[in-house]
Structure 1
Amino acid sequence: MELTHLIRTAAKLLETPFLVLDTSCVKENYFRLKNSINNVEIFYAVKANSHSSILETLRDLGSSFDVASKGEIIKLMDIGVSTDKMSFGNTIKKEKDIKFAWENGVEYFAVDSEMEVEKIARNAPGAKVYGRLAMSSNDSEWPLSGKFGTDADHLIDILKYAKRKGLVPYGVSFHVGSQSYNKYKWKEAILTASEVFEKLHKERIDLKMLNLGGGIPVQHTKPVPSVEEIGAIINESVNEYLGWVDGLRVISEPGRSMVGSAGITASRVLLRSRKGTQTWVFLDVGVFHGLMETIENFRYEVVVEGKENSETMTMTLAGPTCDSVDTIYDEIDLPIDIDYSDIVYFINTGAYTNEYATYFNGIEPVKVYTVQELEEMLKGEFLENTERV
């Protein structure tokens, strides 16, 4: 998403912090993914950003949805999304949520343990289950290899157990890690998934679905492979390793790659101070109010209004709360003349920002506006001020 005159004008007139969302970017990302992976079915990961403008845009495009809770299911149902277009991808589900999902028409459930199989068998008899593989995610910005998934041999046992419990072993899923920089990670994952398909086929269990998860990166401060490059690797790998599977369904669960580039966060400097030899800059947004991912040093592009070409120096950038965890970057190059009330933008922050935001310290999280809402606001109440900017 480009830092437009509209956003710059809004940042001068509106209270910060706020996040601007552009659904035209979501549409572009949707079709790029659709056109990059052969016959792919898109199940948008609602957790990335559940703002109504995004969900409604994807609904109208015909997208399906990956959900993680009863709350997300209800949110989609409330805007008219059919439950046959939802997949319950969280491997750690409450039994009452499983029951609710099944009774309302959700058919697909993720598993990576025997106990989860038992919970689904009790509450969603006959459901289709897909097992999640654990993958190395050392080439990603936000690894997911520790908490979710299991090895191929264990997954085979789990899916066989699911069949004995009256469920339908339906497929294999994986996640190469969020914001993955290595396009060949998908090849590695598909090869491992194919081993599960082949071994179960020999035992007369024929899986039908390959779930590619997410992981496609968004451009921030490092070079990243394009969705087209990743799609080419996926298509080649599916054909090479799973071309023998009749009627194979290929599913993608984009989150960050669908909405990350659709947002820009605007904030202001509240304080500049010196602590020993280090210069600190404090903003009105921090890790508790929209920038949670920076605690793992997730690097956004940072732009200071009007000082894009200034000489820089290394500083510490932090949020406004009374908690030392609220440090955005221990070291970041910022304009040497950055000062009180300067506007600071975080580029491509459409994913995992407003979703993570809290009211910690009684401070309001980022407000969210769509581009269309800003246009209307600047036409009306703020039109006179806009003309003077």
Structure 2
Amino acid sequence: MTERSALRAALAAASEDTLVYDLDGIGRQYTALRTGLPGVEVRFAMKACSLDEVVGHLARLGSGFDAAGPQEIAQALSAGVEPGLIHYGNTVKSDRNIAGAYRLGVRDFATDSREDVAAIARHAPGSRVFCRVSTSGNGALWGLSHKFGCSPEDALRVLGAARTAGLVPSGLSVHVGSQQMTAEAWAEAIETLAALLDALNRRGIVPDRINLGGGLPALGVLDRWGRPLEPPIDKMFRVIRDGMERLAAVNAGPLRFLLEPGRHLVADHGAIRAHVARLTSRRRLDGIREDWLYLSCGKFNGLYEMDQLRYRLEFPTHPGGRFAEALVAGPTCDSDDAYAREGGAVRVPRAVASGDPVWIHSCGAYATAYTTRGFNGFAPLPYTCVGGA
């Protein structure tokens, strides 16, 4: 089948609500990333979609994996991934989890504090550590600038402490924010990394790897106002390639470059076949009339990020006709289970009736990862994978 037709065919064939992943589409996205950024080693961020089929398909293509804990590490190993292609990318980890990862063969650990370095030295002796450096998060839908990462000044102390503790101060990492929409974010991060590499070299620490983190965007989602997001992906790749050359020239030794894409690989190749619960109309207290489209799927069973972005809706049995401007919400008794109100509503065919199918596109990232076990009794969606043979 041609690109995307397998996914659409599976949506059309489904008679019940289901989440569909196109493994061949994910593979094409992986290949395009490797082509656009030659020489970069991919470590797929498993948190974005940890389905065995997706992990296994990427493993067969040669991807490595960014894991957040021993459970994800064990899953990657079960898919046949060598421990050397897995890193423990979470800076938040207990002594038990460090020891568990070490027993499983992992020797690459992210860190951002001297306390964590001391724990790694105790429970994963001799391992390689890479220090996560904070970024502003500007330009991203989710900035990620508070919980993770340290200042460049602290990074010098952290990697110095790692060397003293008998660990290998192997590298630096950044994360420019999830669904990053600007190339400038990587340019700023690279400037920070270049200055930090120079400072480390002068202290006799010569990193051998730079992890440029996650943040590469999905291409098919809308912003919360319903406008198409048009990230300059070619410009992003160009800035990253130029930055790699800059960092390699600064460092006193050779550098390997890693990237941790998550949503960029899977978001646009996952879609949900849901159905309409009801299209309604009612007045607010201020007298303004609103139309509401309630779906069988929402924030708690597949569309967790609906408060920050919009997923494209397609109504296959109503391609035309008159339209309503409706607010979109999921089925639960939770007011957060809805698209953000800012920016207006979504065009919905007025003829839709309860039970009509609706296809929700570009929702492959975090669709299963954030699903509850059954909030309000609405069960997690079943899923199917097409392609990947």
Asked if these proteins are the same fold (TM beyond 0.5), I'd say yes
Change (3 A) 1:9 1:211: same
1:35 is the counterpart of 2:35: yes
Query: Which blocks of at least 5 consecutive residues in structure 1 are unaligned?
Result: 376-389
- The equivalent of 1:332 in structure 2 is 345
Query: 1:1-389, aligned counterparts within 5 Å?
Result: 2=4, 5-11=8-14, 13=15, 15-16=16-17, 18-219=18-219, 220-221=221-222, 222-225=228-231, 227-245=233-251, 246-276=253-283, 277-295=289-307, 297-330=308-341, 331-337=344-350, 338-358=352-372, 359-372=374-387
Query: Which blocks of at least 5 consecutive residues in structure 2 are unaligned?
Result: 223-227, 284-288
Distance in 1 separating the partners of 2:145 and 2:130: 17
SS of 2:305 mapped into structure 1: helix
Judge conservation of contact 1:36–1:227 (CA < 8 Å) in 2: no
Distance in 1 separating the partners of 2:196 and 2:325: 49
Judge conservation of contact 1:291–1:328 (CA < 8 Å) in 2: no
Q: Deviations over 1:77-127 (max 9, x none)?
A: 222222111000001012111111112211110011122112211111111
Which is worse superposed, 131-140 or 336-345? 336-345
The residue type paired with residue 151 of structure 1 is S
Shift of 1:150: 1.6
The residue type paired with residue 26 of structure 2 is V
The residue type paired with residue 320 of structure 1 is P
Change (3 A) 1:116 1:310: farther
Distance in 2 separating the partners of 1:328 and 1:266: 18
With normalisation by structure 2, the TM-score equals: 0.90
Judge conservation of contact 2:197–2:250 (CA < 8 Å) in 1: no
- The equivalent of 1:387 in structure 2 is none
SS of 1:136 mapped into structure 2: coil
Shift of 1:54: 0.9
Q: Deviations over 1:21-64 (max 9, x none)?
A: 01111111111111112311111111110111111111111111
Distance in 2 separating the partners of 1:262 and 1:54: 11
Change (3 A) 1:272 1:195: same
Q: Report which of the two has the higher share of helix.
A: 1
Q: Deviations over 1:232-253 (max 9, x none)?
A: 1111122124324332000011
Q: Deviations over 1:273-296 (max 9, x none)?
A: 23311122211111011111113x
The residue type paired with residue 365 of structure 1 is P
Judge conservation of contact 2:275–2:358 (CA < 8 Å) in 1: yes
The residue type paired with residue 6 of structure 1 is A
Which is worse superposed, 316-325 or 246-255? 316-325
Judge conservation of contact 1:310–1:335 (CA < 8 Å) in 2: no
- The equivalent of 2:225 in structure 1 is none
Change (3 A) 1:73 1:143: same
Question: Please, what is the CA RMSD of the aligned residues?
Answer: 1.9
With normalisation by structure 1, the TM-score equals: 0.90
**Sequence identity of aligned pairs in percent?**
32
Distance in 1 separating the partners of 2:167 and 2:155: 15
SS of 1:134 mapped into structure 2: coil
The residue type paired with residue 304 of structure 2 is M
Distance in 2 separating the partners of 1:239 and 1:366: 45
Judge conservation of contact 1:131–1:155 (CA < 8 Å) in 2: yes
Distance in 1 separating the partners of 2:162 and 2:20: 44
Distance in 1 separating the partners of 2:139 and 2:262: 18
Distance in 2 separating the partners of 1:194 and 1:346: 42
Distance in 1 separating the partners of 2:8 and 2:71: 37
Distance in 2 separating the partners of 1:26 and 1:124: 34
Distance in 2 separating the partners of 1:372 and 1:212: 30
In the alignment of these two chains, the number of paired residues is 370
Judge conservation of contact 2:213–2:260 (CA < 8 Å) in 1: yes
Which is worse superposed, 78-87 or 41-50? 78-87
The residue type paired with residue 285 of structure 1 is C
Shift of 1:308: 3.9
